[in-house]
A and B are shown apart, each in its own frame.
With several copies, the nearest count.
Chain A
């Protein structure tokens, strides 16, 4: 599964995207799995209220299933316009 990071989430994790082997069932499971791997993930995801998630380029949330999803993106609240 492709996992993408943007803005300060990208900066904290240190890469813009990576291929992640996981059997996580939901976004929240994936986050917990990553936080257990290395400190940089733990730091990036320490306050999930400041994190937004998109599944296959559609805004979603932590409780959504990852079944069939190819691309997960984590980023701060958007500041366009």
Chain B
């Protein structure tokens, strides 16, 4: 189990290798990578400003990861979330889960992502040509949490 909150970019392939290299007991590795999209609501997005709550963010991510490890049979997990200014196409977040069983790896990764979306203290501001706009929380993200309760 390991989490990072960082400005720097990350390498998903290297993170997968770090989870699984030298091990022969893992059956399944699932990764999720979230990227900055260049369009939102029909408007062109140049970049995204990601603000977070230092201290609380690390706690929230560690709690989410611990909860996933308690609910599913995971052999390893990794969460990386960036903050700062990210250009369109840049990586924002990655989650990786390793398990003997594919269903556990998939469900745990989805669970972690659903919680990150609306329970980790990050706020996104989309930079358009002439201004910035705070991204509204989506009802769909709140609803996605309900399937795990």
Identify the A interface with B (CB < 8 A).
Answer: 4, 6-8, 10, 54, 57-59, 73, 75-81
Question: Is B143 among interface residues, defined by CB-CB distance under 8 A?
Answer: no
Interface pair B121/A75, CB less than 8 Å apart: yes
* Nearest neighbor of B117 in chain A, beta-carbon distance: A81
Q: Which one, A54, A58, A79, contacts B122 given CB within 8 A?
A: A79
Interface size class of B (residues with CB under 8 A): 20 to 34
Q: Which one, A8, A10, A80, contacts B121 given CB within 8 A?
A: A80
Interface pair A79/B53, CB less than 8 Å apart: no
Q: Most chain-B CB neighbours within 10 Å: which of A54, A58, A59, A77? A: A77
Interface pair A54/B56, CB less than 8 Å apart: yes
CB neighbours (8 Å) of A4 from chain B are 53
Question: Is B37 among interface residues, defined by CB-CB distance under 8 A?
Answer: no
CB neighbours (8 Å) of B121 from chain A are 6, 54, 73, 75, 78, 80
